[in-house]
């Protein structure tokens, strides 16, 4: 049994409480009221309710902290250094189509650096959590990135541009290059879980472009604390600003980056 820090206890309790509503709504997914935000980009009542619960629970515990919310935008706190970065339902399209692969993602940022992260998959009851310097965990078990060192043995996750977003031609070049050199590529539609799976060694790497901070804030810390390496596609550390990310173990990062760079 691991002993979580007070801040991780706050985060995991908030995720667990928000997940109860998501699980209820997922069971009645056909009855959900859904409004269209943009091309292939939807928001459901479940999304909004989960965000409300998370905001209420986290505010009770740390009332001075600000928020960066997928639905609610930026909320400034009286503490200028700390803010929560939240995706209440990563994998909304999966959720709305009855696919049981989605998650709640909570990152805690201090002075521009992510210091704690939680990604919770309520259907599988998998709670991934990490705190800077404290390692990464899945429920009560310590997790590590994979030890694979050869691309041809590696399974890689990604996200595919969809209608109205992203550069499809660029992605197709990247995908062709990746398919030619690896054991396979998977697209499951929830970046927070993709990164958690890299941290747990289920994926050997993951790349995607066009992401938002709430998609990756918690996951990037999970990978780092699991012994992996995370950068943008050019090798820099501006992932939250650029929305591009490449995550893997230290052995595969350079060859994966070279593949993607040459395919651009």
> Is residue 1 included in any domain, yes or no?
no
Q: How confident is the model over 77-102, as a mean pLDDT?
A: 95
pLDDT in tens, 164-195: 667 788 899 999 999 999 999 999 999 999 99
Residue in this structure with the two tokens 């398919």, named with its chain if needed = 179
Q: Is the pLDDT of residue 40 over 60?
A: no
Main-chain phi, psi angles of 181, to 5 degrees: -120, -10
Question: Do residues 105 and 118 touch, judged by C-beta distance below 8 A?
Answer: yes
Provide the pLDDT for residue 156.
98
CATH number, domain of 204, equals 3.40.190.80
Do residues 112 and 194 both lie within one domain? no
Single residue among 84, 119, 142 that ends a domain in this structure = 142
Question: Do residues 118 and 11 touch, judged by C-beta distance below 8 A?
Answer: yes
Do residues 58 and 133 both lie within one domain? yes
**No. of H helices and E strands in the chain?**
8, 15
Question: Do residues 124 and 117 touch, judged by C-beta distance below 8 A?
Answer: no
Q: How confident is the model over 110-127, as a mean pLDDT?
A: 97
Provide the pLDDT for residue 167.
79
Do residues 13 and 81 both lie within one domain? yes
R_g (Cα) of the chain, nearest Å: 18
Question: Do residues 62 and 10 touch, judged by C-beta distance below 8 A?
Answer: yes
Domain that holds residue 25: 6-142
Single residue among 89, 121, 142 that ends a domain in this structure = 142
Residues in the chain: 264
Q: How confident is the model over 98-118, as a mean pLDDT?
A: 97
Please state the domain count of the chain: 2
Do residues 106 and 216 both lie within one domain? no
Q: DSSP 3-state assignment of 122?
A: coil
The DSSP letter of residue 81 is S
Q: What is the mean pLDDT of the chain?
A: 93
Do residues 128 and 240 both lie within one domain? no
Do residues 54 and 177 both lie within one domain? no
Do residues 128 and 171 both lie within one domain? no
Q: What is the DSSP string of 179-228?
A: HHHSSEEE--S-HHHHHHHHHTTSSSEEEESS--HHHHHHHHHHHHHTT-
Closest by CA position to 54, among listed 97, 91, 96, 104 = 104
pLDDT in tens, 21-36: 999 999 888 676 677 6
pLDDT in tens, 222-244: 999 999 999 999 899 999 999 99
Do residues 21 and 117 both lie within one domain? yes
Question: Do residues 229 and 253 touch, judged by C-beta distance below 8 A?
Answer: yes
Tokens read off for 205: 């790497």
Single residue among 142, 160, 194 that ends a domain in this structure = 142
Question: Do residues 185 and 156 touch, judged by C-beta distance below 8 A?
Answer: yes
For residue 99, how many other CB atoms are within 10 A of its CB? 16
The residues facing 109 across adjacent strands are 83, 114
User: Cα-Cα-Cα-Cα dihedral of 230, 235, 236, 237, to 10°?
Assistant: 0
């Amino acid at each position: 049994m691991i002993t979580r820090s007070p801040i991780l206890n706050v985060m995991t309790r908030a995720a667990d409480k928000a997940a109860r509503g998501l699980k209820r709504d997922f069971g009645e997914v056909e009855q959900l009221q859904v409004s269209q935000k943009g091309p292939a980009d939807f928001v459901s009542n479940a999304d909004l309710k989960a965000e409300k619960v998370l905001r209420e629970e986290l505010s009770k515990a740390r009332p001075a902290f600000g928020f960066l919310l997928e639905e609610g935008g930026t909320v400034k706190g009286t503490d200028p250094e700390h803010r929560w970065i939240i995706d209440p339902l990563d994998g909304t399209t999966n959720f709305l189509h009855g696919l049981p692969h989605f998650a709640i993602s909570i990152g805690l940022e201090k002075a521009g650096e992510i210091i704690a992260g939680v990604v919770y998959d309520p259907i599988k009851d998998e709670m991934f959590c990490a705190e800077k310097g404290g390692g990464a965990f899945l429920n009560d078990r310590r997790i590590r990135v994979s030890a694979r060192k050869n691309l041809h043995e590696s399974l890689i996750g990604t996200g595919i541009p969809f209608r109205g977003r992203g550069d499809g031609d660029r992605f197709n070049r990247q995908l062709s290059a990746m398919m030619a050199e690896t054991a396979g590529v998977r697209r499951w539609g929830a970046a927070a879980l993709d990164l958690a799976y890299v941290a747990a060694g289920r994926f050997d790497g993951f790349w995607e472009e066009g992401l938002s901070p709430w998609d990756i804030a918690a996951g990037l810390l999970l990978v780092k604390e699991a012994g992996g390496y995370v950068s943008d596609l050019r090798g820099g550390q501006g992932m939250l600003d650029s929305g591009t990310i490449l995550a893997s173990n230290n052995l595969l990062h350079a060859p994966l980056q070279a593949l993607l760079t040459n395919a651009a």
